[in-house]
Structure 1
């Protein structure tokens, strides 16, 4: 049978029994003995049963320290803490501080053991006569134990037990204090105590307190400063010099007098110190807590969110949050304060917080994915004209707004997919201002899709028969819709996904819909867009956006954190082709032509959504990429026309004229002073593409042309409207794509039929009266086919590419 558990003794009796047993066994250090009168009759078995409930060694919880987030120049972005504390070594504390705290809190600290018998007995008797625990008498070691127990407490019940006004709590502290004194040197106990103590003003530990009240580290504290801090630990709120300077001075001077009386300082030193002001208000430093008080609150919040994704900091998000705020980490980030200032300056120059429309921009470094800047027009906050939404990131992050439709900036992915599939850069498609594509099939990754009622139109004027370059410069919708139909939506969607493009609201892949190339496949963020366009600048290498570059522990040891994540998603040659096309957009006459500056090659693309709910400009050099957006961020989104932007009502909204100037000002600033850079020119194979020859079908009937084309593996469509041509009415005027350009294998070739309006009237040769015309025996000589156009020299079929 098991021996029954003895009943737990009364708390006061436990104190006395434990002191008796400790004294008799010699376990207590010098100075612990108390009068033993009144303890007669206590048996050894009773004492043993009492002692078995007592704690032994004190488990020290890690000190809660403040975490700092730094920019790439080591300037501070934010401080995160539950307790603002920076732990320091003994060498980092001025010895005068050690003297001051000993003088006022425990002047016999170096003489007694775990407790000061005189002080404890005096407090015990007074408390006993008062019927409670009103006077402490605790040694510094006991105070350290109490602070440690409070720091270790995780639940309200544990915190209550660690601070309860009871003999049982004091007794527990005493037993722990004995163990500490036996194993820890006096100076180390002082160091730990000074690192744990609360000094008011959100300052835990002597280092944080010294910086808060005096703007100096603990190693630089002078006599009067040390005396002030030593006096604060008794009542940090009541003696706070920022709120109660008179009480604080009185308390400080009390410490100085005590130090003088103990011979720690001379009378002259004490007098001189008492004549000084208690603090200099100009040197008081308040350490803000959290991202809300950061100069870059949105970026800071994003960093915190990324940190909480890292399982190295804990199993759950709550565990990670607690660790991040208490572990004293040093977190270095990608943010460049100069670029951030340039981004915010441009935003502030082109918009106002009071606008109904919002503006945002993100700057990313190609080849690394480092996010250098993130700015927006609405400042952080919860008041009018403020917001907690970050317009640059996805909804999955705290405060992330979740993006906007990206309009024609999506055409860059169609260009890339087309070049990847072998489409020449000068590939021409007849692109009318309005194009009926109702019911037309677009191939997807899983089948086909169509829109039963779809009649898209161009928002800009362009040549009727543009090349890919022409269409990009003018942002010709009907061209890119037909190109995406020929290339297929699956290659476009696949490539976009590899470049980080997804729906910023749902995290789902972009929808493969007929209007995908016009930017209606999902909601996109400036961070996504700038990172994707940075892929072109990096010659096909996509890097996930990165904001955290390094994490170090409180001891300076590196902590594993996701680093650079880059991979090629297209060949350098394909990226060179995209750069060549988007570079032409930035040349005079292109939609981005007015935004060109400097001598570096620039590439870019405008974007305007349906009903002008959002306008974009995404662009890059080989060094940096950025994407800016102006949009209505109040659901349901409305047309920007008529909304206020930069303090005025918008009469027009466009990627080049509204979002573009924000991008231009930022890029001008960050590229200023850097060596000029050029894109790599595409090779001949990229320029010429990899198309299949088309037969010359001009002048044929639709049936004849269809038979020839289908025999070669092409699909055939006949345009509903006829065009002006010198071909006989009802016959083929030309094809789209053109005969001399060729077409992708299996592509749909559209036959445009002639209305005969340019057929020359028949010419009757003059006949001499009486002399019949001479007719050659083999009939009339063959005539050169009408409409023959020689191929350009770079065409793979030059010089025998046939007529149009």
Structure 2
């Protein structure tokens, strides 16, 4: 026993001797005490060297603040954060909270400098007796420095150094604490400390903690609430009331008794607070983090993907992601909750959770590109009948599915290309039930293409019909012949100008002879926005989900806004609107989908083997696209073992299967909006811009081809010989006929006579 007592005395004397030597040697200066040197094998010379090399100012990074994503009306869609924090000024924090934290963490905070010498000496003696660091004796300023260094750490090694239980780390904190005390007032330090400190259960800063545990604000905290939060700082996990209510109460009561001891509160206040409940578990407010917790998870994730493409948020995707979760940003989106509700109601009405087929709908505002609604039948998640795929968008981020072939909705772009070339709305083409296009040449942007074995047919009415009639009935053989005459290049360029591309590869759509019947992989967002261009009289706008971004000080951050350009002449779009409105007239493939007094236009789409069916349509105010498809690989026919709305799909069609989804969504979305009308097409568009072809009947093929080319037409000579009174091998007739005329640049097919009447 005597040896133990002697050893303790020797250690104490050594400690006093060291402090004296430290002061004399200059290691104790400007309020900086070197409290732990020599207790862990660190010599005084090393200590002095360490202190002298430390920076004299601490560069403090802004604290991480949670960001918010809002709907167009300001309603919260999602919260994103690495740390759940809402900074507030000291004046917004109830004085009782300030008193509680000072009482338990640093009761002499307003009396000492960067270091509380009494507290440090007390900690030194405890650490010396234990042989290791057990108490830091850190002031609030030192704690703030430590928290700031942790916040600044960008690597695991930097975080390790910022939290290492070493004397070197304490020296660093002390040097920086002096700098902080010279830079800021005590109130400023306390404010910063209360906004950065961890209060447990994922909350950082007193405001977020007040909201989380008590559904109140830092301004309205009561004494027992303040005492609980102040007690959490020492061990945010261990004293977390959501983990251990009894331990949290015991710690809270320690704070209350310390406040009583310091005469911060009266005995009556203390006794009343000691009897108060710790928390009401039912009122603990969880702040959801990330899009997975959003009411609109797919829309939210797509918004985030667009934000991560914005260089204004950082030089790299990693930097942008960090800033998005720590910068306290306010992101306002284009989401219209009323329209979203209408679209979701359509999904709820026409689908069931266990359906094997998927359904998706996107609604866009013409003239702005604002994406107003985006819904799908599969809910977000990893469970049964759930998915992480967004079926409405391109495959440009991990959640994008990448679309489906769009079927006859592609005919709209053939119509636009034809009208642009001057083809009239009453343009007739003989369109049989089946047509042989094997080996027929179709001009592309780079040359010609053909299919050696292609004999397409109609699923609806054919005959010698006009452009309007062909659209009404969705006559395949008409549009194939029309696309041959117009050329695939104008169709492809029109589609590209309206934002159409392959949703899987992001490449332009393939120029194949069946292009007008559907090509590539197209998304509901892409198609609805393209059709919105027709509604906006040829003005194409890039799809826009992020309307604005503001930093935590509500200053705007540069972000792409509404970006529109005229890609079709208004009169051409008016002509398209007239043709596609016929689809929704009685007898049209979309005739059953008409509603109200709206001017409506649209187009059905069914891809080969019924792997997907579409309906895309619009009013002057809104455009929408709905798809029903097999989303499993390999894709299969929807008629075989697939269900929608809990029933087997026996006859999948664009009008009967996807159409009702579009109709219900659009009818609800348009409700209450002003009634607008399409502009009637001009006489020039209706009658076309065509001239008579030079008469070539009876000529030899070379002479006829030369005459037609000189007149400004593209020419092909059919391999098929036809009955005609003309001499064998001479021109029997052309398609189109000479008296029918054709716009300049059109394809004219020469048919040669077989010499038989």
TM-score (normalizing by structure 1): 0.86
Secondary structure in 1 aligned to 2:430? coil
Match of residue 624 from structure 1: 622
Distance 1:275 1:48, change over 3 A: closer
Match of residue 770 from structure 1: none
Aligned runs of 1:627-646 on 2, under 5 Å? Answer: 627-642=625-640, 643-646=642-645
Cα contact 1:17–1:47 (8 A) shared by 2: no
Distance 1:415 1:515, change over 3 A: same
How far apart in 1 are the matches of 2:610 and 2:502? 19
Secondary structure in 2 aligned to 1:465? strand
1:28 to 23, 28, 31: 31
Match of residue 791 from structure 1: none
Cα contact 2:36–2:167 (8 A) shared by 1: no
Cα contact 2:335–2:371 (8 A) shared by 1: yes
Match of residue 409 from structure 2: 409
Match of residue 742 from structure 1: 741
1:518-564 CA-partner distances (Å, limit 9, x unpaired): 112x1101110011000000100100101101111111111111111
Match of residue 379 from structure 1: 379
1:609 to 602, 607, 627: 607
- Please state how far the C-alpha of 1:164 moved relative to its aligned partner: 1.2
1:231-253 CA-partner distances (Å, limit 9, x unpaired): 11111112212222222222222
For the pair 1:120 / 2:120, whether they are aligned, the reply is yes
Distance 1:284 1:47, change over 3 A: closer
For the pair 1:347 / 2:347, whether they are aligned, the reply is yes
Distance 1:46 1:152, change over 3 A: closer
Match of residue 221 from structure 1: 221
- Please state how far the C-alpha of 1:296 moved relative to its aligned partner: 1.0
1:533 to 531, 534, 543: 531
The structure with more radius of gyration: 1
Cα contact 1:15–1:171 (8 A) shared by 2: no
Cα contact 1:15–1:167 (8 A) shared by 2: no
Secondary structure in 1 aligned to 2:624? strand
Aligned runs of 1:557-576 on 2, under 5 Å? Answer: 557-576=555-574
Cα contact 2:51–2:172 (8 A) shared by 1: no
Aligned runs of 1:601-750 on 2, under 5 Å? Answer: 601-642=599-640, 643-694=642-693, 711-713=707-709, 715=715, 736-737=735-736, 741-745=740-744, 746-749=746-749
- Please state how far the C-alpha of 1:273 moved relative to its aligned partner: 2.3
Aligned runs of 1:265-304 on 2, under 5 Å? Answer: 265-304=265-304
For the pair 1:173 / 2:173, whether they are aligned, the reply is yes
How far apart in 1 are the matches of 2:665 and 2:568? 28
How far apart in 2 are the matches of 1:75 and 1:163? 39
How far apart in 2 are the matches of 1:154 and 1:339? 42
Distance 1:662 1:16, change over 3 A: farther
Further displaced range: 482-491 or 277-286: 277-286
Distance 1:669 1:47, change over 3 A: closer
Further displaced range: 299-308 or 420-429: 299-308
Match of residue 595 from structure 2: 597
- Please state how far the C-alpha of 1:694 moved relative to its aligned partner: 4.5
Secondary structure in 1 aligned to 2:540? strand
Match of residue 581 from structure 2: 583
**CA RMSD, 1 decimal:** 3.1
Aligned runs of 1:324-473 on 2, under 5 Å? Answer: 324-462=324-462, 464-473=463-472
Cα contact 1:140–1:193 (8 A) shared by 2: yes
Secondary structure in 1 aligned to 2:556? coil
Secondary structure in 2 aligned to 1:362? strand
1:290-317 CA-partner distances (Å, limit 9, x unpaired): 1111111111111111111111122211
Distance 1:684 1:436, change over 3 A: same
Distance 1:646 1:160, change over 3 A: same
Match of residue 134 from structure 2: 134
Secondary structure in 1 aligned to 2:602? strand
Match of residue 542 from structure 1: 540
How far apart in 1 are the matches of 2:220 and 2:371? 38
Distance 1:560 1:13, change over 3 A: farther
Distance 1:411 1:265, change over 3 A: same
Cα contact 2:729–2:752 (8 A) shared by 1: no
User: How many matched pairs?
Assistant: 734
- Please state how far the C-alpha of 1:729 moved relative to its aligned partner: 14
Cα contact 2:694–2:708 (8 A) shared by 1: no
How far apart in 2 are the matches of 1:471 and 1:738? 19
- Please state how far the C-alpha of 1:206 moved relative to its aligned partner: 0.7
How far apart in 2 are the matches of 1:167 and 1:709? 95
1:564-614 CA-partner distances (Å, limit 9, x unpaired): 111110110000000010111111111111000011101100000000111
Cα contact 1:537–1:621 (8 A) shared by 2: yes
Match of residue 69 from structure 1: 69
Match of residue 475 from structure 2: 476
Further displaced range: 319-328 or 534-543: 319-328
Cα contact 2:717–2:749 (8 A) shared by 1: yes
Cα contact 1:408–1:519 (8 A) shared by 2: yes
Secondary structure in 1 aligned to 2:87? coil
- Please state how far the C-alpha of 1:55 moved relative to its aligned partner: 3.7
Distance 1:741 1:561, change over 3 A: same
How far apart in 2 are the matches of 1:577 and 1:16? 93
Cα contact 2:260–2:266 (8 A) shared by 1: yes
Give unpaired runs (5+ residues) of structure 1: 1-11, 758-804
Distance 1:716 1:524, change over 3 A: closer
Secondary structure in 1 aligned to 2:101? helix
Aligned runs of 1:168-207 on 2, under 5 Å? Answer: 168-207=168-207
Distance 1:721 1:635, change over 3 A: farther
Cα contact 2:359–2:628 (8 A) shared by 1: yes
Match of residue 236 from structure 2: 236
TM-score (normalizing by structure 2): 0.91
How far apart in 2 are the matches of 1:16 and 1:154? 36
- Please state how far the C-alpha of 1:87 moved relative to its aligned partner: 1.4
How far apart in 1 are the matches of 2:524 and 2:36? 77
Secondary structure in 1 aligned to 2:312? helix
Secondary structure in 2 aligned to 1:692? coil
Cα contact 1:361–1:663 (8 A) shared by 2: yes
Distance 1:18 1:677, change over 3 A: farther
